[in-house]
Amino acid sequence: MDVLPRHTADAIANMSADYLLLEHYPRPTEIRFRPFAWSEPSYTFGVSQSWKTYRAQVPAEIPLVRRCTGGGLVSHLHDWTFALVIPPNHLLYEKDASASYLAIHQALAKALQKQGQPVDLVPAPPSPRPFHAPDQCAERAEPHDLIRTDTGKKVAGAAQKRNRKGLLIEGYVWQPSLPNCQWGHFETDFVASLSEILKSPAQKVPEPIYDQFDHEGAWAKFASPEWNQRL
């Protein structure tokens, strides 16, 4: 598993970097993990959601960018975020979204529980549950989401995109919900847990170098009204 350096950027650059990680990574057969932060308060929303709906909810001065993954509206004001790509040659790529979601959140839970954080996964229901359209997905816990065991509040979530290049998972942990967490230690423990669950030894790698055309094209995509306002 390639572990990229932590990177801080705005919403357009972060969503562009995640897209490049899936579509143009120079070592496409490797699992790759990218922890990142936000240079300014931002919101992102799912690929199939309504721009007008969320633009009306988010203050005009705060950036709002459409992800290439699913899900609803997520605030990036105080979160710890990551992107993970599972290549097509890995067993988890072949499994359904629920299985990959569970695996990633098991790794998150293990890393946080190592610090004694009161977290656990929401169990899967015994029977099919009613459909809920994605909205402010950071506020509603779904099966395999991570919650505080003392309050039931959601503390982490993720969204996915699967294509022939791999499975992209964009995830977050809401930091205010875990005020005593040591985030530097958490990152180390999370990488170790992912490495164990995915059966892929972690190795630190430098920031990937992409073709200039691909890099500029990805940035332009996530900066464009044609992408962000298309629905």
pTM: 0.92
Q: Phi and psi dihedrals of 38, rounded to 5?
A: -115, 130
Length of the chain in terms of residues written: 231
Separation CA 15–CA 223 (nearest Å): 10
pLDDT at residue 140 in the model:
54
Q: What is the pLDDT of residues 110-147, one digit of tens each?
A: 999 999 999 999 886 554 444 344 454 445 557 888 99
pLDDT at residue 123 in the model:
82
Q: What is the pLDDT of residues 164-193, one digit of tens each?
A: 999 999 999 999 999 999 999 999 999 999
175: region left, alpha or beta (phi > 0 left; psi from -120 to 50 alpha): alpha
Confidence band for 12, pLDDT divided at 50, 70 and 90:
very high
Domain ranges of the chain: 2-126+133-228
Q: What is the pLDDT of residues 37-52, one digit of tens each?
A: 999 999 999 999 999 9
Q: How far is CA 13 from CA 17, 42, 54, 215, 219, in A?
A: 6, 12, 20, 10, 6
Cβ of 44: how many Cβ atoms within 10 Å? 28
Given CATH 3.30.930.10, say whether it is the number of domain 2-126+133-228. yes
Q: Considering only residues 128 and 14, tell me which one the structure prediction assigns the higher pLDDT.
A: 14
Closest to 7 (Cα-Cα) out of 207, 204, 167, 176:
207
pLDDT at residue 138 in the model:
47
Segment 77-91 shows an average pLDDT of: 97
